[in-house]
Structure 1
Amino acid sequence: MTGKRSDAGGIEGFFRGLGDLVEKLGELAETGEALQKEGNIETKTSGGRQVKGVYGFTVRVGLGDEGEPRPRVEPFGNIRRDEETGASVVQEVTEPMVDVFEEDGHVQVVAELPGIGAEDIELELNGDVLDIQAASGDKKYRKEVLLPRSFTADGMTHSCRNGILEVRLS
């Protein structure tokens, strides 16, 4: 689902949309599907500067420790809550949407980095945390990905085509 707002009320619209989340989580627990919502906000700062915010989240339901369906909310975008003021602010660095797949003998991480090429990406692996950073022109991305177990850098390969980063860890 995608929405676009051209006024400062876009964030309130996003939070209103979260009201449907509770109902959808029940459906997701039954079907094991994923729910995703994203949108863009274009507005001006008090100084008159044009800013563009991207927000979104993915809700996935998987089995928890005791075999019960457990929802996980994974945010992405560049709108964050300021810790001091509590206000939502647009940041320069965008958190990309990332999927982690446990496959036979390895883990596959897939990140969406529009406008980024292979030469623009920096990866750092520290045990069970993969840090993805990428920058090209005005496109800047950063995400720390928690992996299902620890890996070493010598078991990591990656490729990037059309802004889709694929990291294989074994």
Structure 2
Amino acid sequence: MGKKNDEFDILNVGGFSNIFKGVANLLDLVSRMDREGKNEFFQTGEIGGGKKDGLKGVYGFSVKLGGNGPRVEQFGNVRDGAAGPVLDDIREPLTDVFVEDDHVLVILEMPGVQEKEIQVGLKDNILFIKTVTGIKNGRKYEKEVCLNVPVIPESLVNNYNNGILEIKLERKNEPV
């Protein structure tokens, strides 16, 4: 993960400007992935924090091809601000959502936090995940996941192990 791949070198991760230049090549990447039968691409990078604030930039994206077309998932703590890229102290975790016949499984990568620091909530079909106070190493995560199928809120079960949070929800039976 995060290894440079010359064949699909979209981002030359030397700085902020290269992140946004790489987005222009996204359509070419998806087209090549489709032609070559590849269904997933992943790239990450880091930008060291300055001496003043010590904040470290982590950014990346994942492209997945599937039945509903390409899906691009961004993650990290680099945000697009009014004056250009901004480092945020809250990271957006890499997230995968799997919709199965009887349940939905959401998997998030949240290394460096303890299970007791993770808060998970559900309102309507939006899943809210964030880390709460007490974080010793300064890693903060936050993510909202829109579930595209109706779920049973009371069925929410989560498990956190080795930096991976798994959330499982049963699907509601929809009348035909």
**TM-score of Structure 1 vs Structure 2, range by shorter chain:** 0.7 to 0.9
Deviation at 1:19, TM superposition (A): 4.7
Q: 1: distance between equivalents of 2:102 and 2:18?
A: 43
Structure 2 length-normalised TM: 0.80
2:26 is matched with which residue? 21
Q: 2: distance between equivalents of 1:40 and 1:99?
A: 21
- Once the two structures are superposed, residues 47-92 of structure 1 have per-residue CA deviations (whole angstroms, 9 ceiling, x without a partner) of x33321011111112223xxxxx2121111001011xx33110001
Unaligned runs of 5+ in 2: 5-13, 171-176
1:99/1:110 contact within 8 Å kept: yes
Unaligned runs of 5+ in 1: 4-8, 65-69
1:32/1:62 contact within 8 Å kept: no
2:111 is matched with which residue? 114
**Superposed CA RMSD:** 2.1
Amino acid of the structure 2 residue aligned with 1:18: V
For the residue of structure 2 that corresponds to 1:50, the secondary structure is coil
Deviation at 1:16, TM superposition (A): 3.5
Percentage of pairs with the same residue: 34
Q: 1: distance between equivalents of 2:95 and 2:151?
A: 18
Q: 1: distance between equivalents of 2:123 and 2:53?
A: 38
For the residue of structure 2 that corresponds to 1:76, the secondary structure is strand
Q: 2: distance between equivalents of 1:117 and 1:146?
A: 24
- Which one has the bigger strand percentage? 1
Amino acid of the structure 2 residue aligned with 1:146: C
1:6 is matched with which residue? none
